[in-house]
C-alpha cells in the first residue's frame, strides 16, 4: 500500500513518561506498517534520552494526577513494555531514525556520548525539515 510507505516525523519536546509513551506507541505503529519514522529530540525529551537517565523514573504530566500515577505504577508492576523498550523494538522492526536537535544539545550542555545509543546522531532544524519532506509531522 502506497500510503503506508510514507515517512512520518515526530518532534519530541516533552520528557514526561506519558508523552514519551504516546510517542513510542505512534512510532512503533508506523514502523510496523513499513513507514519510515524520523524523530527529532528537543529540550526535555532530549534530556530523557541521556544515557544516565533513560532507564530512570520520569515525571508524568501534572494533569495525570494520583489516578494517572496509579495506572502507570500498575503498568510497571505488570512488567509491561516501557517507552524506551518500545522504541528499541521499533528500531529493530523498521526504519526509525532518532536525531538530537543541535540547539537543544547546546542549551543543555550535552555531548553525543552522554546520550543513549538509541540516538543515531545530531542534526539541525534544516536537516530535520529536509528529512521530513512533505510527510506528516507531529509535535509531542
Q: Give me the residue label for grid cell 531514525.
A: 97
Residues 118-137 that bind a second copy (CB under 8 A): 124-126, 128-130, 132-137
**Shortest Å, Cβ 126 to a second copy:** 6
Taking the least distance from each CB to a second copy, the nearer of 4 and 112 is 4
Is position 6 an interface residue for a second copy (rule: CB under 8 A)? yes
User: Who's near 34: CB < 8 A, 6+ residues apart?
Assistant: 4, 5, 94
Residues 47-86 that bind a second copy (CB under 8 A): 47, 59, 61-64, 67-68, 71-72, 75
User: Who's near 120: CB < 8 A, 6+ residues apart?
Assistant: 97, 98, 99
Sheet holding 136-139, edge to edge: 121-123, 96-101, 37-41, 8-12, 136-139
Is position 26 an interface residue for a second copy (rule: CB under 8 A)? yes
Is position 89 an interface residue for a second copy (rule: CB under 8 A)? no
Q: How far is CA 95 from CA 7, 31, 101, in A?
A: 9, 6, 19
What DSSP assignment string belongs to 59-76?
PPPGGGHHHHHHHHHHHH
**Shortest Å, Cβ 16 to a second copy:** 5
Q: In this chain, which stretch among 31-39, 91-99, 112-120 interacts with a second copy, using CB under 8 A?
A: 31-39
Q: How far is CA 138 from CA 33, 51, 106, in A?
A: 17, 25, 23
Residues of this chain that bind a second copy (CB under 8 A): 3-4, 6, 11, 13-16, 18-19, 22, 25-26, 28-30, 32-33, 35, 42-44, 47, 59, 61-64, 67-68, 71-72, 75, 101, 103, 107-109, 124-126, 128-130, 132-140
Amino acid at each position: 500500500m502506497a500510503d503506508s510507505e510514507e515517512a512520518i516525523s515526530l518532534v519530541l519536546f516533552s520528557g514526561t513518561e506519558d508523552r514519551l509513551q504516546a510517542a513510542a506507541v505512534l512510532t512503533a505503529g508506523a514502523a510496523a506498517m513499513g513507514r519510515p519514522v524520523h524523530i527529532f529530540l528537543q529540550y526535555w525529551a532530549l534530556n530523557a534520552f541521556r544515557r544516565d537517565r533513560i532507564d530512570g523514573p520520569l515525571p508524568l504530566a501534572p494533569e495525570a494526577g494520583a489516578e494517572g500515577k496509579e495506572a502507570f505504577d500498575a503498568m510497571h508492576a505488570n512488567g509491561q513494555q516501557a517507552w524506551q523498550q518500545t522504541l528499541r523494538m521499533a528500531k529493530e522492526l523498521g526504519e526509525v531514525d532518532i536525531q538530537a536537535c543541535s540547539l537543544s544539545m547546546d542549551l543543555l550542555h550535552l555531548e553525543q556520548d552522554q546520550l543513549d545509543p538509541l540516538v543515531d546522531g545530531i542534526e539541525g532544524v534544516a536537516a530535520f525539515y529536509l528529512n521530513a519532506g512533505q510527510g506528516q509531522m507531529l509535535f509531542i
